[in-house]
Amino acid sequence: MTILLPLWADYYFAALIFLLGACLGSFANVCIYRMPRGGSVVTPRSHCPHCRQTIAWYDNIPLCSFLGLRARCRHCRGQIAFQYFLVELLLAALFLVIWLKFRFDPRTPIYWLMATALVIGAFIDFEFMILPDRLTIGGMLLGPILSALAPALQGQPSAYLGFCVSVGALVLGSLALWLVATLGTLAFRKEAMGMGDVKLLGALGAFLGWKAVFFIIVGASLSGALVGVMLVLTQHKTMASKIPFGPYLALAALVWIMGGSDWWGAYTAWCSGS
Ligand SMILES: [Zn+2]
């Protein structure tokens, strides 16, 4: 579907969507802090981790408050972690690039939802080495439903086909990574990968399809190995250190959404000589 907007409306939409992303980033920060600690992500209101003061709405404005307060709490002057600002900026940017690529496509809101969940999962996994079931199992349930509602997500013409293809990729993604995890555990005689990663790839398959499953396994393994080797070389980690895999799965999934699927199409077209 092509809808042409006048230029002023185009800039206006882009700015609104950047703001929307920043707001979702603010919500993501709450989830990143509370999900691994077992709290509700809706109540109570946010408070300063140093002095427990409730944060007023005007000190909780995405991006602006962090800059305005110069990264310090208004009450106790305690440091506010840069991660809060980073997550807000990251999601604002992701929302904008997804919008610029997909526009009024039915996949746009689904990719926004995925970007939010992936950023939350990546930051939690990075810090706590866990991927909450609320994200992974939630994604495994939601993927097939959204694939039926918007079959374009799976490149299918009907709700029924969208649903079936999604469930197939869910099973494929979980099985493929479960196999890698089991073989890794046998080879290294310790847990090579958590079940959280297996569930996450199942969820990503349910949203993005079977081609994405292969792209994500290869992309996440390559980038994870590259970063791992660099960390060992710079002596931040040893060969025995555990490195979370979730952030690399999330990164590879976002690369797939933003261009990987196009490259795949170009590659298969080149292989078949057309
Ligand atoms: Zn404080």
What are the tens digits of pLDDT across the range 52-111? 899 999 999 999 999 999 999 999 999 999 999 999 999 999 999 999 999 999 999 999
Q: What is the pLDDT of residue 154?
A: 94
6: tokens are 């006048």
What's the gap in Å between 22 CA and the centre of ligand 1? Answer: 22
What residues sit around ligand 1, an ion, with C-beta below 5 angstroms? 48, 50-51, 73, 75-76, 78
Q: What is the pLDDT of residue 257?
A: 95
DSSP letter for 256, please.
I
What's the gap in Å between 44 CA and the centre of ligand 1? Answer: 16
Residue type, 234: T
What's the gap in Å between 251 CA and the centre of ligand 1? Answer: 33
Q: What is the pLDDT of residue 38?
A: 83
Q: What is the pLDDT of residue 239?
A: 67
What's the gap in Å between 164 CA and the centre of ligand 1? Answer: 50
User: Which band of pLDDT confidence, cut at 50, 70 and 90, is reported for residue 5?
Assistant: confident
29 neighbors 65 (Cβ within 8 angstroms): no
Alpha-carbon distances of 187 from 64, 192, 218, rounded to whole Å: 50, 9, 19
Q: How far apart are CA 67 and CA 88, in angstroms?
A: 12
- Tell me the whole-structure pTM to 2 decimals: 0.92
Q: How far apart are CA 84 and CA 75, in angstroms?
A: 18
Q: What is the pLDDT of residue 99?
A: 95
Q: How far apart are CA 123 and CA 32, in angstroms?
A: 7
Overall size of the chain counted in residues = 274
pLDDT(1) > 60: no
Over the stretch 7-43, which tens digit does the pLDDT of each residue have? 888 899 999 999 999 999 999 999 999 999 887 888 7
Residue type, 266: A
Over the stretch 113-167, which tens digit does the pLDDT of each residue have? 999 999 999 999 999 999 999 999 999 999 999 999 999 999 999 999 999 999 9
Mean pLDDT of 211-231: 91
